[in-house]
Amino acid sequence: MTDPTPATTPAPSAVAVPVPGKTLGIVALIVAFFFSLLGLILGIVAKSQSKKAGVKNTPATVAIVLGIIFLVISIIIIAVSVAGAGALVSQCATLGAGAHDVNGVTVTCG
């Protein structure tokens, strides 16, 4: 008769250690799509928290990059819109009130 084989115990499961700033980094990543400046700020805060703990925080890094990109795009769109509105106001000041045909485009001032 042979000795029964001792039961092997399963290796202890890896316990998830919370990474400081990880959740904030994910939140920053999501927020960056809708409010670029806020996403950028949250990403920087999350990255700072993770850096103090000595861990990598990829979502925070991505949030920072996207926040910068979306912020620059937003600034460009605002600048172009303001310039266009200024040109329209200037054109209306020159033409006066009413509907005018300028280079095939109807401009209504009033």
Which domain, by its residues, includes 46? Answer: 22-102
109: in domain: no
Residues 39-92: tens digit of each pLDDT: 999 999 999 999 999 999 999 999 999 999 999 999 999 999 999 999 889 988
11: in domain: no
7: in domain: no
82: in domain: yes
Q: At what angle do helices 36-53 and 58-95 cross, to 10 degrees?
A: 160
Q: At what angle do helices 58-95 and 22-32 cross, to 10 degrees?
A: 20
30: in domain: yes
36: in domain: yes
3 pLDDT above the threshold of 80: no
Residue 105 neighbours by CB distance under 10 Å: 8
Q: What domain count does the chain have? A: 1
Residues 5-49: tens digit of each pLDDT: 666 666 655 676 777 889 999 999 999 999 999 999 999 999 999
Residue 102's pLDDT band, with cuts at 50, 70 and 90, is confident
